[in-house]
Amino acid sequence: MQYEHQLAEQTTKNLEAMKSFQMKYDKVLLENQEKTNAMNKFLVALNRLKSDLHFLYISKNLRILGLAEKSSEQNVKNSPNPKEDQKHDEFDKEDQISTH
């Protein structure tokens, strides 16, 4: 009889420990899922930011290039020696693009 009582008591303790571990595991699993979701949202936002910055950088370079082309066209119209001014403007365009 005592053996059966000890066995039942040990079984109850084992079941309680198993439930406790299962609860802890579920809690850790949920926290991990929340952290994974937060990390995924962060990575998506970071990728959007990267693409926006690339777009802005390209847009800025195109705008600078457009301004340089407009100024070179005006210089060509006003210049007595257009070939020399054109070479100078091309170097200016390259400098503006490389510095930005």
Report, as an integer, the average pLDDT of 18-38. Answer: 97
Identify the band that residue 27 occupies on the pLDDT scale cut at 50, 70 and 90: very high
65 DSSP 8-state letter: H
Domain that holds residue 57: 2-99
pLDDT tens figures, 1-17: 778 888 889 999 999 99
User: What is the model's pLDDT at position 91?
Assistant: 56
DSSP states along 45-59 = HHHHHHHHHHHHHHH
State yes or no: pLDDT of 85 exceeds 70. Answer: no
Q: pTM to 2 decimals?
A: 0.49
Task: Name the domain count of the chain.
Answer: 1
User: What local confidence, expressed as pLDDT, does residue 60 receive?
Assistant: 84
CB 64 within 8 A of CB 97: yes
Tokens linked to 60? 């800025």
